Every structure is written in structure tokens, then in C-alpha cells.
A and B are shown apart, each in its own frame.
Chain A
Amino acid sequence: EADIYQTPRYLVIGTGKKITLECSQTMGHDKMYWYQQDPGMELHLIHYSYGVNSTEKGDLSSESTVSRIRTEHFPLTLESARPSHTSQYLCASSLGVSETQYFGPGTRLLVL
């Protein structure tokens, strides 16, 4: 089982609040990813990182931002949450280009 953690698991917050979703992995993986998934739907990549100080936007446009200051940590921030941000956010990591991605348990976000 992969050692990748996400906090909080569930978050209910009001419109306009700033939030940060945490993702950490203890496997020494260099690559990390954030996916957004609406209920019963496929996952869409919103951000990824190939290593420290490297961040890129994914296929799905997102108002969120990410940072990668440490290898093991890849937080996602929403400066001003809106109801349209309500979704599940899944973090993943992998080692190298050819390796499998392992997923965290996800954060379910509800913005009122």
C-alpha cells in the first residue's frame, strides 16, 4: 500500500474563504499530481510537478495553485473558494517517468 496522505479528508467551507489541501508522500517520489473528480465521473489532471520548484498546469483549467518546495509535499490552494469548486481532489505520486501513479485517499470539498 502506498504511503501518500491527504488532509483534510472532508471540508465544508463558505464562499470566499481561502483553503489549502495538503498532500504528502513518504516514498521519495519525484513526481506528484493533483486530479479533480466530480461524483461518478472520470478524473481530470489539474496540476503536476516533476520535482522541487517545478509545477505545471494539467489538462483541466483550474483556479487553484500549487507549490512544491519540498519533495514530499505538494499542497493545493484556492484563494477564494466558490460553489463551483465543490468536488473531490485526489493527489498522486510516482517515481520516474515509467512508474505507476499511486493515489492518496482524496479530499472531498463542499463550498456553500
Chain B
Amino acid sequence: AQTVTQSQPEMSVQEAETVTLSCTYDTSESDYYLFWYKQPPSRQMILVIRQEAYKQQNATENRFSVNFQKAAKSFSLKISDSQLGDAAMYFCAYRSAGAGNMLTFGGGTRLMVKP
């Protein structure tokens, strides 16, 4: 079974600075997808970024980018120019490329943004 680990329960960053959230996963599969979801106080899960394991290029979405290290099974999220609205819980998630489409979530990292 796959597992996803987020080793940082809480992180804080100064507004306009850059922060990196860590995520590692364990799998024996070669084809899979990785996601970062954001969950603000409203509790709705919002997709931040998605990475296909077969793509070597790191995904980027505006101020959000990932550092995907397949051999190391690492998938960190970098938030540049942090904004107050970035404060939320961030969840890393894994999904096999095979049938099922089941998401396995990490335990989450609470990000605080200081003005």
C-alpha cells in the first residue's frame, strides 16, 4: 500500500517570502500522479498543483511550483511571494495511474503567513 508523509505539521513564512513544504511517499509503482491540495479555514479542498510521474519537468502554477524527485520519492511544494491568502492546511496526495483513481493523503502541513 502507498503511504504519504508530510513531516512538517506546521510552517510559517513572512509575507512576500518563499516557503517550501515537504512531502515524501512510498510506492512500488512507476506510473502515478501527485497532487498538492490547499484547505483554507472554509474547509473546501482546492487543487493547487498536479504532477504526472512520467513527466520529468516540474509542474508550475503561477507562484506555486514543485520539486519532484522520483528516485528519492520526494514531492515538495514551493510557494513564492507568499500572500496572506496562502494561509491554510496543505495536503500532499498520491494516486496510482492504474484503475481505481483513489487518493492517498498525507497528514497535512499548516502554513501560517505573517504580515
Contacts and interface: CB of A to CB of B under 8 A. Distances in A.
Given A97-B99, A100-B35, A102-B47, A42 B42 contact: no
Interface of A: 31, 33, 40-45, 48, 58-59, 88, 90, 92, 94, 97-106, 108
Contacts of B89: 40
Contacts, number: 54
B11 interface: no
A106 B91 contact: no
Contacts of B44: 103-106
Contacts of A104: 44
B43 A100 contact: no
B67 to A, nearest CB: 20
B46 A103 contact: yes
B106 to A, nearest CB: 6
Given A100-B47, A103-B46, 9 more contacts: A31-B101, A33-B103, A40-B110, A41-B108, A44-B105, A90-B43, A97-B98, A97-B100, A105-B44
B97 interface: yes
B45 interface: yes
Contacts of B101: 31, 94, 97-99, 101
Interface string B83-115: 000000101000001111111011110100000
Given A88-B43, A106-B43, A48 B102 contact: yes
A88 B44 CA distance: 11
A92 B45 contact: yes
Contacts of A48: 102
Given A40-B110, A42-B107, A58-B102, A98 B45 contact: no
Nearest to A4: B44
A3 to B, nearest CB: 13
Contacts of B108: 40-42
